[in-house]
Structure 1
Amino acid sequence: MLAIDQGTTNTKAMLVDAASGLVVAQASAPTSIGFPAPGWVEQDAECLWTASLAAIDACLAQQPDAEVLGIGVSNQRETVVCWSRSEGRPLGPALGWQDARTAAWCADLAQRQPTAARTVRDRTGLSLDPMFSAPKFRNLIDAAVAGGADPSDVAVGTVDSWLVWRLTGQHVTEPGNASRTLLLDLASLTWHDELLTLFGIDASHLPELRPSDATFGVTSTLHGRLAGGVPVLAVLADSHAALYHHGCTTPGTGKATYGTGTSVMSPTSDPEPGPHGIATTVAWHVGGRATYAREGNIVASGSALDWMAATLGVPEGTAGGAHLTALAAEVPDSGGVSFVPAFSGLGAPYWDRSAVGVLVGVSGGTTRGHLARAALDAVAHQVADVVEAMESDGSARIETLHADGGATASQLLMQVQADLLARPLEVASSPAASALGAARLAAEQLGVATPPAEPGRRVTPHCTDSPQSRAARLAWGQAIARSRGMTVSQTDSTSSDETIERNDP
């Protein structure tokens, strides 16, 4: 199986032996990100495609005699592309999932139509937030038509549909990705007319919906060994593919993917809306049945570590994450410093785009090590916020949290995470869980029974209820309140839960 995992900062390609599940070749190619204005995050859609080609070529070159039986695709979510059907070229930049340029548009919609946020929540399980795709679809369609494009020639889609279009010429998507657009009705798994009208989007611009394990066409545009019609057998959004790889299929199981942002996801038995600030989404549609999940999306985690590493100065030739962990290991804790990386506001469970990034508790004795530790702590606290919100209605507790993604290489971060959650982590043996999940589903499409994921390293909390963890959580809640423009005294006991209540969208 050839797995293509198109992420925010790079595209990976993997050749995975279908029977054993072992990776026999892999390669990656970087993708650039632009920040042309505050809150704006753009990528070049054509570069997303050429990076995919580069990664595929480099991967296949390592195993020139391997027979590619099928392709599985996983992709960054909510990022949107607009292109010309007739010419196949992008009609504007790809608007990244972190992009918040439509925040004012969403706020205006909520003000003009007071029931809009509730309609969106009830139908889609999501908040009316610029992270999700529909407002960005509208932005790109309007810009393309204003630029002279024939409306009948305009196609939009999430990154999976863009890649499949370039691979096979078919304009299609699957329910997991579609459930992140604010346009999919969770119950019927169809584009919903009321939502299309709400966002002013004609269904003719959107891709056809197919199950996650459908055949998405055969390759028609690639050269070499893939030119002869290799089928695209599976498509999964990246976070969903990681959940699939871990084998988390029932309530009480869950995972956190530590990427540019972090997705915390746990299966649920039905598409009913979850607790405040937590999304309900389609995990996948496989074997004729939809599996749903609760999820919290953190906007800045890996990007927060990258920012702090760059701010503190990364020595030439040194990996930023490793350098940051080494600095953080020099101190026992953050020395009272809290860092809230609200670069474009806060995602789950707050959904407050007016929040700003803050450093709290800096003193004359603050060192680079304290700042580095505060950055690691910020990632772990955000995940803890989401897990607490996800479990707040008592429907299910995640007994062991699976962890994957690049930041899991930091053993210090994983230990802090286990301590704050007061439960063990199962850290994946490979950080590339998304690609492996897509490869697994593609293999199953061919009737190949794939083995379960290899067990990773287990990280157990040092203490399940320590005064230090409680104090750290309290300080974090106060920093979140400051980030959101709330007055907090030194003796204020405002918890993160109370902060959530005071900003119900």
Structure 2
Amino acid sequence: ADSVLIGSIDQGTGSSRFLVFSSSTGALITYHQEEVDIIYPRNGWAEANPDQLVQSVLSCISSAVSNLAALGIAANRIGCIGIANQRETLVAWDRRTGEPVHPAILWLDARTEQTVERLIATTRSRSAAEFRSICGLPITTYFTGVKIRWLLDNVPAARELQSSGNLMMGTVDTWLLYKLTGEYATDVTNASRTMLLDLATCQWDPRLCRFFGLDQKMLPKVCSSAELFGRISVADCPLAGVPITGILGDQQAALVGQGCLESGDTKNTYGSGCFMLCNTGLSPVVSSSGLLTTVAYQLGRSAAPVYALEGSVAVAGTAIRWLRDSLGIVGSVAETETLAGKVPDTAGCYFVPAFNGLYCPYWRSDARGLIVGLTGATSREHLCRAALEAVCYQSRELLDCMETECGTTLNRIKVDGGMTSNRLLMQLQADLAGVTVVRPEMAETTALGAAVAAAWGHGIDMTASVRQSSVTEFYPMTGPVDRLRKFQRWLDAVQRSIGWHRQEDDGEGDAGGSSAGSLGSAGHLAFAVFLVGSAALLALSLSVK
């Protein structure tokens, strides 16, 4: 087993990557990454080109294999491949041609707001929580089932394909698996994000399929997270014939990659959004505080599924990129750490980045972004710090919910994701949440988690390697009184953002279809972002030091 290498496909919102790990040590051998475009055709809409997702993955595989060759390592040492993917995103295609019938509707897309209202109105309880006891999720714009309903209501070609029995659809893992191997399947973690899975049986639920108006026979087969899904059959792929033996939704993959394999273990991933997962063991915990109940992993067909509670924040890293791309007040994402570090606080400025509504624990799609507390002395340094603090406050809210649900105090939290390289952000998180923040030296926890699942499905146990990584710890440096005072002001700002959006606002702004290499790099986010205060005051505040 020492000589076996494990490949890992990490298909995220803004990029695709292929990474190669040692199965014996968990060490990263090489990787290649390519950005993917995010398309914003209208306010609140977010799409991707399904074919570009596949092509970017194949390109990353080819480049990573070339890297291996340069290291003198043969590609045939890669014994199996795992997939970690952005979750909830919907891809639908024609069974006969394999061609997509519509752009991929991304997880953060909010076009389904009216669909959600109509669906809730048809439930017995007239409540978004109608099916929480079955699928663990509220009826909201986030989840795949709602996106499927919108597609069938608004795209005649999709309706016709369903009528003729030729519609295939699924999350990104299913789409990649189909295009790479010809197999039509998903794993339990991705299936648990659709609103169509019964958490108790880990199979599609007939009641939920009927509610959303779907033919259950058209859905992909639900598999465990670690088994043989298929073999790569793309002729010119250098890894043709290699089996795909593991699939995990990206946040569940990070949980596994962080070694959070015991009940109570908690991790927070800082990427485009923030995603906190707490392992709850072998039984699903239905939340009463706005958290999501989800499948954490199932390592093999005969293994029992393990569950988790999850808190999701829609905007984290996206807010930093917005400062760069839309306001132009920083030249790079990394510059925000330098600028924010030049001031001791935000000078009373709070930034609620509800660009597309609020996720946990509010679930309010009518919230919109705001910046409050602006004065003539507010500088770009203060805004950068407020943006970083917004990430921390949102995570603090998730942590509070976790503690309420689990009945325990969480003193330590494991962290991962691209934003964790920002040391100031990590220290602010420790200060504003009052917890020890534990950052592993191995930054690639999502891809590593997919590799662990793939190795397991290939008969190799890599779990020891994820439990032993070295870490950097950040300890709280502020007192509880100051921490609570600031948090109360944050909560006040959040309340002001809720209910801002009106349906008539949807006609405002650009609907002309911008496309971005990473979130927002087309020069603006076509999200409905409303800054409190006049544009003149904002311009003045940014120019005054």
SS in 2 for 1:225: coil
Q: Does 1:53 align with 2:53?
A: no
Q: Does 1:289 align with 2:304?
A: yes
Tell me which amino acid in the other structure corresponds to 2:175: W
Name the counterpart of 1:103.
113
Q: Does 1:165 align with 2:178?
A: yes
Q: Is the 8 A contact 2:436 2:476 kept in 1?
A: yes
Report matched runs for 1:198-213 at 5 Å. 198-213=211-226
Q: Is the 8 A contact 2:329 2:380 kept in 1?
A: no
Deviation of residue 124 (structure 1)? 0.8
Deviation of residue 312 (structure 1)? 4.4
Greater relative contact order (Cα < 8 A, sep 6+): 2
Tell me which amino acid in the other structure corresponds to 2:408: A
Deviation of residue 204 (structure 1)? 2.3
Q: Does 1:32 align with 2:37?
A: yes
Report matched runs for 1:125-274 at 5 Å. 125-142=136-153, 143-145=155-157, 149=161, 151-227=164-240, 229-269=241-281, 270-274=283-287
Tell me which amino acid in the other structure corresponds to 1:126: L
> How many angstroms apart in 2 are the aligned matches of 1:161 and 1:418?
38
SS in 2 for 1:232: strand
Name the counterpart of 2:487.
473
Q: Is the 8 A contact 2:388 2:425 kept in 1?
A: yes
Q: 1:483 aligns with which of 497, 509, 512?
A: 497
Tell me which amino acid in the other structure corresponds to 1:188: T
Unmatched 5+ residue regions in structure 2?
A: 1-5, 501-545
> How many angstroms apart in 2 are the aligned matches of 1:255 and 1:472?
24
Tell me which amino acid in the other structure corresponds to 2:292: A
Q: Is the 8 A contact 1:253 1:398 kept in 2?
A: no
| TM-score, normalising length: structure 1 | 0.92
Tell me which amino acid in the other structure corresponds to 2:203: T
Q: 1:300 aligns with which of 311, 315, 321?
A: 315
> How many angstroms apart in 2 are the aligned matches of 1:374 and 1:222?
50
Name the counterpart of 1:435.
447
> How many angstroms apart in 1 are the aligned matches of 2:88 and 2:158?
23
**C-alpha distance 251-420 of structure 1, shift in aligned 2 (>3 A):** farther
> How many angstroms apart in 2 are the aligned matches of 1:92 and 1:485?
31
Q: 1:388 aligns with which of 389, 400, 423?
A: 400
SS in 2 for 1:216: strand
Name the counterpart of 2:79.
69
SS in 2 for 1:214: strand
Identity %: 36
Equivalent pairs, count: 481
Name the counterpart of 1:83.
93
Name the counterpart of 2:131.
120
Q: 1:310 aligns with which of 321, 325, 330?
A: 325
Deviation of residue 433 (structure 1)? 1.1
SS in 2 for 1:78: coil
Over the residues paired in the alignment, what is the CA RMSD in angstroms? Answer: 1.6
1:32-77: per-residue Cα shift (whole Å, max 9, x none)? Answer: 1011111111111111111111111111110122322100000000
SS in 2 for 1:91: coil
SS in 1 for 2:409: coil
Q: Is the 8 A contact 1:342 1:355 kept in 2?
A: yes
